[in-house]
Amino acid sequence: MHIYYFDENFMYTGEDVISEYDEMPKNATDVDLPKGLYLPKYNEEKREWSETATQEYIDSLQPKPPLPNDITTLKKQAALLTLQVTQLQRGGTS
């Protein structure tokens, strides 16, 4: 049987597998933990897990977009300059 542990504030602390003959620890439940929770908290009365993380906290865990490296930046600048030179040349000959 899969069990989920919680601390004195009912915040998720881990999980384990026990035999169906083992006694359920006082700080655990067999209520499945839904996927996608960042800071799960267990409600004993409702027998359910809920999210306690703020949106700001969740956003802070998302990976930041990578910064362009110098070579990528130089390639983009060179392409832009080439385009500008081409446009200038076309404009000067018409």
Domain definitions of the chain by residue range: 2-61
pLDDT at 54: 96
pLDDT at 13: 98
pLDDT at 93: 54
- Whether 92 has a pLDDT exceeding 80, the answer reads no
Provide the whole-model pTM: 0.64
Residue 55 host element (H or E):
helix 55-61
pLDDT at 52: 97
CA atoms within 13 A on the CB side of 34: 12
Amino acid at 55: Q
pLDDT, tens digit, for every residue of 21-80?
A: 999 999 999 999 999 999 999 999 999 999 999 999 999 998 888 777 888 888 899 999
Tokens in use for 89? 């040349």
Residues 6+ apart with CB under 8 A from 22: 1
